[in-house]
Every structure is written in C-alpha cells, then in structure tokens.
Amino acid sequence: MLRDSWNRPWKMVGSEHYPSGNPRWLLAELTYACPLQCPYCSNPIDYAKHSDELSTEDWRRVFSEAREMGAVQLGFSGGEPLVRKDLAALVRHARKLGYYTNLITSGYGLNEARILELKDAGLDHIQISIQAPEKTLNNYIAGTDSFEHKKEVAHWVKKHGYPMVLCVVIHRRNIHLMRDILEMAVELEADYLELANTQYYGWAHLNRDQLLPTRAQFEEAEAIANEYKEKLKGRMKIYYVVPDYYENRPKACMNGWGTTFLTIAPDGLALPCHEARMLPGLDCPNVRDMSVRDIWLNSEAFNRFRGYGWMKEPCRSCPEKAKDYGGCRCQAYLLTGDMNATDPVCSLAPDRQTVQDAIGNAASASAEVKPLVFRNSRNSKALSG
C-alpha cells in the first residue's frame, strides 16, 4: 500500500518567510515487510537491504520525543504495519501521549479480533487501500488474492465505529474504472475516499511507462470525481490527489522541507519526506544515534532545503517560491539527476522537457507491452545488486 496525501489539509498561509516550526506529522514506517506487491509502492527499490528494524522501545522513545516537540498526527505505515506484532502496544503508547493515531494498511491480515484489540489500544482511524473495484484487477495489482477480504475488513471498520478511509491509488490500469471506484466507496460507506493519482517515485518511477495515464484519461477521471464530490457532499469527503505531471506548477512538497513532516523509516533513518533516502549525499540521521529534537533542529539533512538560499534560477527570483518552495527535491533528482534543480513539473523549469518525454514514453506503443515489475524482495534484491 502507499498513498500520498501530504499536500492536504493544513496548508499554511503563504508569506515571504519560510515557515518554521516543529514537526506536526510523524509517519512511522514500522516495517518494509508487506504481503502485497503493488508496482507503484513508494518504498525504496532497495528496501530489502534495510531489514534492521527498530525495536518496540526505540519506537516508544521516538513517539515520546516527537510528541514533546508538538507532533500530533501519527501514521502507522510500512510496508504493512500489521506485520509488526507490537502494533497494538505502539498504538497504546501513542494514544496515551495524545497523538491522533492513523493505521495505514492494506487490510490484508486484519481480522475482527485484531480490530478490537487496536480499538482497545485507542486507535483513532483505519485507512484501507483497495487496488481496484473488481476482484481480478485488484488481485493482479496487489499481487495477492485479497479483494474479498479487504471488503470484509471495510465492513468491520465501520461496524466498530472507526472513521473509514478508503484509499485507491490511480494509474493507467484502473483510471478507466473511476465511476466504479466511487460506487464501491459508496457501497462500503466510506467516510473519506482518497483518490491518489500515482506519484512517480520508488517502484512507481520504475514502472512509470506502464502506469502513467494520458492527459485525456486524467481529465475524464477528474471530471467524474468532481461530479461525485458534489453529489456526496456531507456524506463522504473525497480527496483528489492531483497528478503533478499534468500540472504547470509543482506541489508544495511536504508543505515545505523540514516544516511539518517527519518520516522514520523501519531501520530508524529520519527523513524529511518518505522518499528522501534516495537523495545522494544527503546523509540522513538515524534515531538510534540522535534525538528527534536534535535531528529536527540541527541535522544537516533537515536544514538542507529549508529557506530559499539553496535555490537556483528560475526559483530564486520567482514570486511563487514561497508558495511551492521550488517543488519536490526527489522529483528534481529523479528527473534531472540534480536535487537542487527546479522541479521539472514547473512550466518555467529548464528541464520541463523531461516531464514531456515521460508522458510521451508512456503513450508509446512499446509501453503497452512492457511488463510491470512487482514490488517484492526478489525484485528488490535483483535491482539493487
């Protein structure tokens, strides 16, 4: 599973000052282990190399330290967080500290007893990912026979009084089913539906030619989503995560580097965004060696792209830099090889052509026959040497 919702609610009002603040959102990637094999997973391609997971005690300490700094939203993610046997204990600790606790799961392996156990521990919300609104495609994308079970889990989530968030990652294999996806969410009585257009990092970047829809497909799907947004007002909140390859301006990634979000990877690496492990020479700190406070305030990695001093033109003199902070550093690196470049999604970016090329490649006939590379340990090892 993996969804991207970072551009969402707490957008701060733009000003010339770079926003400074303590972490509000802590994403705890408890493990890279996952029974699913989604080919758009945002975990790093070499995840199989990072198998030294933090202990229960490490996580407890991290939660306490981040909470002291003011973090209030805590996402339990992965991989599949249900794989961790200490999940309920971690939820209990987090809830006691005052976090709003979000379980971000494939639902696979969740049974009613475990839902009750988590409820008792104080879990606030469960987000379930479904890969497609019909069985064959869902199971193909997930690489696992999971469709019926996921729907059952969705019913239990409702039954036990959780707000139910359904997440569907959108790409070329399922975008034509937008109406069915929305109807499925209605049938499952979701309180929130996240329609997350694939963001092209990690495994999604590897499979981009096979996953990136055309502009016409995007526009049609977005129109349908907007129609339902209107129709379901007051019943279901629909978040539509925009596909940034078809935008003219980049997203304000992570609400600004080192302003709001803190991700801790399974091996304890502290990241300003969950993709930042890939950035060469960033040298992210590890919670095994440093306190959260020290990491947030003093580490080089978290200070690297704070403010505007690092920017090149056209960002440096652009009046919109305080709105989008130059876009996404990981996307700049993936598309141009330079993490200091303007995000090529921007129509003013010198490397805008790389986005056009990606769109062109995905639309070419050869993309149709290229097989998807599924996210699993065998492929991870083969691809990372």
Partner 1 sequence: MALNPESRFTFSPLHRLQWEEAQQKYVILYPEGLVELNVPAAEILKLCDGTRNLETIVEELEQKFETSGIRDDVAGLLESALENGWIRALP
Residues that bind partner 1 (CB under 8 A): 5, 8-10, 22, 24, 68-70, 72-73, 75, 98, 100, 102, 124-125, 127, 161, 163, 165, 191-192, 234, 237
Q: Which is nearer to partner 1, 92 or 321 (CB)?
A: 92
Q: Which is nearer to partner 1, 73 or 138 (CB)?
A: 73
Q: Which is nearer to partner 1, 13 or 365 (CB)?
A: 13
Positions of E strands within 171-229: 192-197
Q: How far is CA 216 from the centre of its chain?
A: 25
Cα within 13 Å of Cα(174), Cβ side: 28
Q: Which is nearer to partner 1, 234 or 385 (CB)?
A: 234
CB 166 within 8 A of CB 239: no
Q: Which is nearer to partner 1, 190 or 278 (CB)?
A: 190
In angstroms, the CA 37 to CA 68 distance is 36
Residues 6+ apart with CB under 8 A from 370: 209, 210
Smallest separation (angstroms) from partner 1 to the CB of 19: 14
Smallest separation (angstroms) from partner 1 to the CB of 233: 9
Smallest separation (angstroms) from partner 1 to the CB of 179: 24
Q: Which is nearer to partner 1, 19 or 350 (CB)?
A: 19
| Residue in the structure block whose two tokens are 């805590």 | 74
| Residue in the structure block whose two tokens are 């979701």 | 190
Q: Which is nearer to partner 1, 48 or 91 (CB)?
A: 91
Smallest separation (angstroms) from partner 1 to the CB of 198: 18
377 SS3 class = helix
Q: Which is nearer to partner 1, 104 or 282 (CB)?
A: 104
Percent composition of the chain: helix, strand, coil (DSSP 3-state, to 5): 40, 10, 45
Greatest pairwise CA separation for the chain in angstroms:
57
| Distance in angstroms between the alpha carbons of the first and the last residue of the chain | 24
Smallest separation (angstroms) from partner 1 to the CB of 170: 18
Q: Which residues pair with 73 in a beta bridge?
A: 25, 100
Q: Which is nearer to partner 1, 4 or 244 (CB)?
A: 4
In angstroms, the CA 281 to CA 243 distance is 28
Smallest separation (angstroms) from partner 1 to the CB of 340: 30
* CB neighbour burial string for 223-261, b if at least 16 within 10 angstroms, e if fewer: ebbeebbeebeeebebbbbebbbbeebbbbbbbbbbbbb
CB 80 within 8 A of CB 34: yes
Smallest separation (angstroms) from partner 1 to the CB of 10: 5
Smallest separation (angstroms) from partner 1 to the CB of 255: 12
| Residue in the structure block whose two tokens are 């830099």 | 321
Q: What does the block give as tokens for 23? A: 């972490």
